[in-house]
Every structure is written in C-alpha cells, then in structure tokens.
C-alpha cells in the first residue's frame, strides 16, 4: 500500500541526536512534513494542535514515555484511531507485545533505516496484523544437498561464515548435505525478524536476541558459538585526564550500543556502574548516563560530531577504525572484562534440524574446522574478511588493518566454540536481575549441544 508522502507526522524523541536521525531517515523515505516533539507531554500537545496523520514515538522518554503517550491518545475520541508507530530501542519481544496490546499500529526497533520505517508506515495505514507463527519454508534439495540460508551482518565476528564460504568456493571443501547461501543484512533487526518469521534457516546473531526470541516461543536452537571476545569500548577523544575523572566525564553523557539485547549493553552497563554511575535509558528510574541504540557503522561519525556522546561499544572493525582516525581512544577490550566471553551465536531453525540433521551436523563441523583455519593463518583470514565483509569497498577495509585487529592480545577468537550454559546464564541473570530486561529461559532446551559435541570429538 502506497502512503501519501505529504502526510503530516509528529515525531517524539527526547534525544537531539535521535531527532536529527529521524528527520534524515524519514526524508530519505520521502516524508518531509514533520513536527518534532521532545517527549510524550510535548507530543500530546503537538498532536492536539497539529492534527497529524501519523505519530512516530520513542518509548523511553522523561515526563511521559511512549507507551503512556500512546495510551493517552487512545483515550481521546479524536485520536483513538490515529496511526501510531513506536520506534524504539525497546526491541525485546515482550515490549513489542505491550505496544500492540496498548493500541499501537506498528513497531520498528532501533536502529532502523528508511526501508524499515517505510514498511512500518505502510503497515500502520493498512489492516495488516502480525503473524506470530513462523512460516514453514519449502527448501530445495538438489543432488541430496539441501539449501541452507544463513544470515550475518558486516562485522568480523561473523568471519567463520565468510571463511567457510570462501573454502567452498575455492573447492577446499565440498559439503555433502547442504548448499550454502549467505545473506548480508543491514543490521540486527532484519536478522531478528528473519529468525522469528522463518525466512532464515540460520543466522549469526547476538546471543541475547536469540534467547529473547526463544523466550517467546520462536522455535530456534543455539548450535554453536560464532566466536568469542571481539568487542571494544571506545572513549571520546574529548576526555582530558588533567581535568576529568572517568566518572565525571561519563556523567550526564550518552553511550552508544548496537542493540538493547547485546553483550555490549551488558558489559558497558557493568563498567559504568562500577564507576559509581547510574546507566540506563530515560524513564521512571533516575539515570545519569544514557544508552542510545545506533547502527555500528554510524557510531564514530556521531561521536565525532556530538560532544554529548562520551563513548560507544562495538564490534570490529568499527572500533579500530575510530582509533586510527583519532575519533576516540581505547577504554577497554571486552575480553579484558570477561575473558573468552560469548557474544554472537549460531541460531538454527528447529524444523531445519529435525528435517535435515545430517546437514546441520556437517555445517557445525565445518564451522568448527573453519575456526581453526582462521586461527592458523591470520594473514589469509584478513584477506578473506575484506572480500566477505566489504565486497563493495564502502567500509574501506584493508588486510593490514584487519591482520592487526586479529593479532591483538585480547582479540576475537574462533577456536573453542563449544556452547556453555553457564556463560549464557551469566548474561541472562545480569540482564534480568540488574538491568531488568529480558526473561530467564531454560538453557538446556535452548542449546542443541549434540552437533558441537560431535564436531569437537
């Protein structure tokens, strides 16, 4: 359904950076008739005065948050049917359900692009409803090999997949039970959606995202860790130790993270809390460091242009490039806070496992073997990474930079990828008990350990 690009849209977000990004992304999507509001209270007044055709609101805002804003509108006769989209870092499944139950028309998790916001707008003006049941895919089987569609994003964490693809294309290995098809996604949200709706057979995805999907009955299983370690906290170059303590520098500032449901969020929260700060998102609880969800590739540019951003936590190669370009300095490597920690995992649809167990086993075994292949030759791995992660040259990667990234003392690792329930329990307990996000899941039901056990036997 085509939506008139001239519709009037009230956009509510208390972050100045986010309001700028909203405007840029909506303009790219073709929508320019925008009225900006700084929180739910301001948004409510703007709606009464401007009589818009659509509202797009953040969730976490002071005075009146996005959910309260939505509920207030639904109580007014004039606005009880006004299309409303929640665009927010509240991307876990429980929050999505709360939005729809309160009368929201669509939800788009941050970070998002013009394509995602356009689809949300189309959905808000249509009668389309979410279908919680995953689609049963029809998979081609040719010559005894089933098609295996695996998604990833543009980070070195997912190099095991790229190196395996390289080995297959070079004829070094020839799978007997599957044909590999890789799908580069623009961010975590398309991967989350693809796993939830059954579009993807498998994905390299942040462990907490997959755990949250499992908590709300998405039939996926963890079959292997994708890597260990690999993330970096970058502090803004504006820090001056002669005048600032770390506590005073971060206080009342912003720290950017790639996703709410991420180890990056957890480790950054721990670090800031240990400084005596109160990190979080705006809402009912008092905070003095604000987390914002931002696409990884945009983090350096945002911090460079905005002194309110004190740091960000991100995967490689974004972190090293920020240091090389003198945008920021190293605060810590994630392995320095938790040695050999998990981050991304390999999540596979349960129905693929049940129908094609030989293919699942072969894929996991080849990933384990390919992890050793990477560890044994970092120069070769760096060359493969450039072509896999930056095929169009937009990131400006080169093998020398990546070789240095891979050789750091606390660098990412692709060996020893056997899943461990105690690692994942550490993540979910901190997030649930301390950060008050997510749900506690039965990890024995989530982890399908048999393939990894066989691979490492």
CATH number at residue 306: 3.40.190.10
DSSP readout, 302-325? HHHH-TTEEEEEEETTHHHHHHHT
325 within a domain of the structure (yes/no): yes
State CA 293 to chain mean position distance.
9
Residues 349 and 411 in one domain: yes
pLDDT per residue over 208-266, tens digit each? 999 999 999 999 999 999 999 999 999 999 999 988 999 999 999 999 999 989 999 99
Question: Domain of 203?
Answer: 147-229+341-456
End-to-end CA distance of the chain: 53
Residue range 292-309: mean pLDDT, rounded: 91
Same-domain pairing of 235 and 328: yes
At 199 the pLDDT is 93
Buried b (16+ CB within 10 A) or exposed e, 275-307: eebebbbbeeeebebbbbbbbbbebbebbbebe
Q: Do 284 and 431 have their domain in common?
A: no
Count of domains for the chain: 3
The residue out of 337, 360, 387 marking a domain boundary is: 337
Is the CB of residue 310 less than 8 Å from the CB of residue 254? yes
Same domain? 237 vs 324 = yes
Residue 134 lies inside a defined structural domain of this protein? no
Pair (351, 328) in one structural domain: no
**Residue 96 domain flag:** yes
Which structure tokens are listed for 435? 């950060």
Domain check: are 197 and 265 in the same one? no
Average pLDDT over residues 164-185: 96
Residue 137 maps to a domain: no
**pLDDT tens digits, 274-287:** 999 999 987 768 89
CA distances, 65 to each of 12, 217, 450 (Å):
10, 28, 45
- Residue 135 predicted with pLDDT over 70: no
Structure tokens that stand for 397 in this block: 């990667």
Q: Where are the alpha helices (DSSP H) in 182-333?
A: 188-197, 207-215, 246-250, 263-274, 299-305, 318-324
Query: Which residues have C-beta within 8 Å of that of residue 6, sequence separation ≥ 6?
Result: 33
- Radius of gyration (Cα) for the chain, nearest Å? 22
- Give the confidence band of 317 by pLDDT, cuts at 50, 70, 90: confident
Q: Is 138 within a domain?
A: no
| β-strands 141-142, 34-37 pairing | unpaired
pLDDT at res. 408: 80
According to the model, what pLDDT value does residue 97 have? Answer: 82
Q: How far is CA 210 from the centre of its chain?
A: 11
pLDDT given at position 87: 86
Strand ranges in 21-138 using DSSP code E only, listed in sequence order: 34-37, 54-57, 84-88, 106-109
pLDDT band at 107 (very low <50, low <70, confident <90, very high): confident
Per residue in 190-210, pLDDT (tens digit) is 899 899 999 999 999 999 999
96-103 mean pLDDT: 86
Do 313 and 448 share a domain, yes or no?
Answer: no
Which of 73-82, 126-135, 190-199, 364-373 comes out lowest in average pLDDT?
126-135
Closest CA to 14 of 71, 64, 85, 68: 64
Average pLDDT over residues 343-353: 97
Greater model confidence, 97 or 160: 160
Residue 402 has pLDDT above 70, yes or no: yes
> Region 402-431: what's the mean pLDDT?
92
Does 409 share its domain with 330? Answer: no
Q: Are 46 and 35 in contact, with CB atoms under 8 Å apart?
A: yes
d(CA 446, CA 227): 18
254 in the same domain as 181: no
The model's pTM is 0.86
Q: Is the pLDDT of residue 415 over 60?
A: yes
In this structure, is residue 2 part of a structural domain?
no
Handedness of CA 180, 183, 188, 194 (dihedral sign): negative
Q: What is the DSSP letter of 371?
A: H
- Average pLDDT of the chain is 91
What b/e readout covers 345-382, taking b as 16+ CB neighbours within 10 angstroms? bbbbbebbbeebeebbbbbbbbbbebbebbeeebeebb
- If asked whether residues 204 and 265 sit together in one domain, one would say no
What pLDDT is attached to residue 339?
Answer: 95
Confidence of residue 405 (pLDDT cuts 50, 70, 90): confident
Mean pLDDT score, 82-106 = 83
CATH of the domain at 78: 3.40.50.2300
Euclidean distance between CA atoms 437 and 91, whole angstroms: 10
**Whether 419 contacts 452, CB under 8 Å:** yes
Asked whether the bond before 28 is cis by omega within 30 degrees of 0, the reply is no
- The answer to the question of residue 132 being in a domain is no
Tokens read off for 119: 């689809």
Residue 350 pLDDT: 97
On whether residue 440 sits in a domain, the answer given is: yes
pLDDT value at position 284? 64
Q: Which of 209, 244, 208, 218 is nearest to 329 (CA)?
A: 244
Q: Return d(Cα 209, Cα 263) in angstroms, integer.
A: 10
Task: Give the CB-side neighbour count of residue 310, counting CA atoms within 13 A.
Answer: 22
Please tell me whether residues 348 and 445 are part of one structural domain: yes
């Amino acid at each position: 359904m085509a939506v008139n690009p001239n519709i009037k849209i009230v956009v509510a977000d208390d972050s100045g950076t986010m309001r700028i990004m909203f405007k840029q992304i909506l303009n790219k999507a073709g929508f320019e008739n925008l009225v900006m509001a700084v929180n739910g209270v301001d948004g409510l007044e703007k709606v009464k005065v401007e009589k818009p055709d659509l509202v797009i609101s953040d969730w976490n805002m002071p005075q009146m948050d996005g959910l309260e804003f939505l509920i207030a509108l639904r109580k007014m006769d004039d606005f009880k049917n006004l299309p409303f989209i929640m665009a927010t870092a509240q991307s876990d499944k429980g929050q999505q359900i709360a939005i729809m139950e309160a009368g929201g028309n669509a939800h788009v998790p941050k970070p998002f692009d013009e394509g995602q916001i356009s689809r949300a707008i189309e959905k808000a003006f249509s009668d389309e409803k979410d279908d919680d049941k995953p689609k049963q895919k029809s998979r081609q089987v040719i010559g005894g090999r089933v098609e295996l569609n695996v998604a990833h994003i543009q980070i070195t964490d997912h190099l095991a997949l790229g190196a395996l693809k390289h080995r297959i294309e070079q004829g070094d290995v020839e799978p007997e039970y599957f044909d590999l098809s890789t799908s580069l996604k623009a961010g975590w949200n398309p991967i989350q959606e693809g796993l939830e709706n059954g579009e993807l057979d498998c994905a390299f995805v942040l462990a907490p995202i997959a755990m949250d999907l499992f908590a709300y009955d998405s039939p996926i299983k963890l079959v292997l860790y994708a890597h260990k370690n690999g993330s970096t906290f970058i502090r803004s170059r504006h820090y001056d130790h002669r005048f600032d303590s770390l506590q005073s520098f971060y206080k009342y500032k912003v720290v950017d993270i790639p996703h709410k449901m991420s180890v990056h969020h957890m480790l950054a929260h721990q670090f800031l809390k240990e400084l005596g700060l109160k990190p979080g998102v705006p809402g009912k609880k008092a905070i003095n460091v604000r987390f914002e969800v931002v696409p990884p590739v945009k983090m350096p540019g945002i911090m460079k242009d905005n002194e309110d951003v004190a740091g960000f936590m991100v995967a490689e190669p974004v972190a090293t490039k920020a240091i090389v370009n003198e945008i920021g300095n190293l605060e810590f490597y994630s392995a320095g806070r938790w040695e050999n920690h998990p981050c991304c995992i390999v999540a596979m649809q349960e129905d693929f496992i049940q129908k094609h167990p030989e293919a699942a086993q072969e894929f996991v075994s080849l990933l384990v073997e390919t992890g050793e292949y990477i560890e044994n030759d970092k120069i070769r791995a760096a060359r493969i990474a450039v072509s896999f992660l930056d095929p169009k040259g937009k990131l400006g990667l080169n093998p020398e930079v990546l070789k240095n990234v891979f050789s750091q003392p606390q660098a990412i690792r692709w060996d020893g990828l056997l899943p461990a329930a105690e690692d994942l329990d550490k993540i979910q307990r901190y997030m649930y008990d301390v950060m008050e996000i997510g749900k506690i899941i039965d990890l024995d039901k989530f982890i399908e350990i048999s393939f990894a056990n066989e691979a490492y036997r």
